[in-house]
Amino acid sequence: MTYKETIDYLFNCLPVFQHQGASAYKPGLERTIQLDDYLGNPHRKYKTIHVAGTNGKGSVSHSLAAILQSAGYKTGLYTSPHLKDFRERIRVDGEMIPEQAVIDFVARHKLFFEPVQPSFFELTMEMAFDWFATAEVDIAVIEVGLGGRLDSTNIIAPELSIITNISFDHMQFLGDTLPKIAYEKAGIIKSGIPVVIGEAEGAVKEVFVQKAREVGAPLYFAEECFHLTPSGNGFYCEKYNEIEVQLKGIYQQKNVATVLTAIDLLRQKQLSVSDKAVREGLRRVADLTGLQGRWQILQTHPTIVCDTGHNEAGIRCIVQQLEEQKYTRLHIVFGMVNDKDINKVLSLLPQNATYYFTQAAIPRALEAKKLYDLALQYGLNGKIFASVSTAIEAAKEAANEDDFIYIGGSTFIVAEAI
C-alpha cells in the first residue's frame, strides 16, 4: 500500500473517535495489552511521562518535549488529535514519523491486529510506542487520549504523571460532575510515581488527594510550587525571573507552572535539565515540536488568530483573551462538533461580534444551520457558510485592517483554517 492507502485504511477500517465520536470509543485496556504483548512491550524500552487533563495537556506535553530536546535527550512525543497530517501524532525530536514507517507497521502487523479489532487510537498508540523503541528515544511524553483510568495509554509506568486540570468535556464517557471526571483522570496516578496537578480546588482537589494517598503517590500542586505573573513576552517567577514563551494565551500561565513543577521533579529523578534548556524549550516550543493551533497568529492587518479550545473552560479562556485585544470590529468564524455542551459554549461568546457559522468536513460536525439557530437564542448574529474556507474568506473580505478575526470552536475548524 502507498502512504495514502495506508492512512485511508486506518481511518476507514478502524473506529475513529476523531471522526465518529461515541461509536468509536472502546474503553478498557484488554486490546491494548494484547497488542503491546505481541509487539514485545516497546514502551518499557525508554522512560515515559504521562500527561492527562481536560485542557492544556497538549501545550504541557509539547513544552516538556521541547525542554527535554533542548536538554539533549532524544525525545518521543505522542499526542492527539492531529490537525493536518496523521504523522503529527508521533514525533521524535520534533520530526514526524516517516511515511514509510507508517506503511511498514500496518503491513507487518495487520494480520495480527485485524482479529483483535482495536480502535484507531489503540493501534496508533502502539505504532507510536513501537516507533519510539525503533528510534531508541531516551524518554517519551505520552498524552492521554480520553479520560485516564481506562485510556489505552494507561499501560505505561511513567517517571512522572501530570493532570493539568478538570472541566466539563466528554461527559457521556467520564461522568456528569467534575469529581466524577476527576476520578477518571486520577486513574493514571500510580503507586510510588510522583504526580503533578496543574489546577484543582474543592471536591476535585480532594479526589486527587484521596487517590494519591490510596496508592502511595507523592502529590504536588503546581499552583503551590510556582507563582507566575505575566511579564514581557512571557512570565515572571522567583526561580527563573523572566521566562519568554512562544505559546501565547493567558491560559499558558497555568500550563507553564505545571511544566516547571514537572521539570523540578524530573531533576529529582536524575534527569539533567539545565535552566538554559528550560528557557530554550519554552521560548521555542512550536519550532521544536511543530505544535500549532494554540492562540496562533495566522495573519496581521487584519489580525487573524485561531485556537483549538473547544469546551466550556477552553472557550472561557479564549473569551477572556479576546477581551484584552485591541480592534475596531470583532469577527468570529465558528463551528463545533455535535457532542459538546453547545449551549454552555454559546452562552459564553461575546455578542459584540459578527459571526460566520460553519462546519468542518467530518461526520461529527454540528450542522452550521443548527449552530446558527441555537446562537440566535444567545444574541449572536451572523451568517451560515457551507465550508470553513468560505467562512474565512467572507470574514477577511468584511474586515478592515484594524479588525480582529478569531477562528475556532473545534479542533477540526482550526485544522481546516491552518
CATH topology of domain 296-417: Protein-Tyrosine Phosphatase; Chain A (3.90.190)
C-alpha to C-alpha distance for 154 and 54, rounded to whole angstroms:
16
pLDDT value for 363? 86
Query: Cα torsion at 237, 242, 247, 253 (round to 10°)?
Result: 20
For 207, other C-beta atoms within 10 Å of its C-beta total 23
Long-range pairs of 5-12 with CB within 8 A, sequence gap ≥ 24: 6/102, 6/103, 6/106, 6/107, 7/86, 7/102, 9/106, 10/86, 10/106, 10/120, 10/123, 10/124, 11/120
How many CA atoms does the CB half-sphere of 345 hold within 13 Å?
Answer: 25
Identify the CATH number of the domain defined by range 3-289: 3.40.1190.10
Would you list the domain boundaries of the chain? Answer: 3-289, 296-417
- What length does the chain have? 418
Spatial contact of 281 and 68, defined as CB atoms under 8 Å apart: yes
Strand order in the sheet with 241-244: 229-231, 234-237, 241-244
Q: Which three cell numbers stand for residue 263?
A: 521539570
- Report in angstroms the alpha-carbon separations of 299 from 234, 254, 318, 417, 418: 21, 26, 18, 12, 11
Q: What are 22's three cell numbers?
A: 461515541
Q: How far apart are CA 147 and CA 125, in angstroms?
A: 15
pLDDT tens for each residue of the chain, 418 residues long: 899 999 988 888 765 434 444 444 456 688 899 999 999 999 999 999 999 998 899 999 999 999 999 999 999 999 998 999 999 999 999 999 999 999 999 999 999 988 888 888 899 999 999 999 999 999 999 999 877 888 899 999 999 999 999 886 655 557 678 989 999 899 999 999 999 999 999 999 999 999 999 999 999 999 999 999 999 899 999 999 999 999 988 889 999 999 999 999 999 999 999 999 999 999 999 999 999 998 999 999 999 999 998 888 889 999 999 999 999 999 999 999 987 789 999 999 999 999 999 999 988 899 999 999 999 999 999 999 999 999 999 999 999 999 999 999 999 999 999 8
Name the phi and psi angles at 247, rounded to 5: -80, 120
Cβ neighbours of 110 (radius 10 Å):
14
Strand 296-299: give its sheet, edge to edge.
296-299, 303-306, 404-408, 330-334, 353-357, 381-384
Contact of 170 with 196, CB cutoff 8 Å: no
Q: At what angle do helices 252-268 and 57-70 cross, to 10 degrees?
A: 50
- What single-letter amino acid sits at 378? Y
Distance, CA of 124 to CA of 238 (rounded, Å): 41
Grid coordinates representing 123 are 493501534
Give the C-alpha distances (Å, rounded to integers) separating 39 from 43, 112, 126, 145.
Answer: 10, 10, 8, 21
Q: What are phi and psi of 296, to 5 degrees?
A: -90, 125
Helices 178-185 and 202-215 sit at what angle, rounded to 10 degrees? 30
What is the predicted pLDDT for the residue at 63?
Answer: 98
> Is pTM beyond 0.75 here?
yes
Rounded alpha-carbon distances, angstroms, from residue 134 to 17, 36, 39, 88? 27, 14, 12, 18
Which grid coordinates belong to 57? Answer: 495537556
Angstrom distance (rounded) from CA 35 to CA 29: 10
Predicted local distance difference test score (pLDDT) of residue 16 = 47
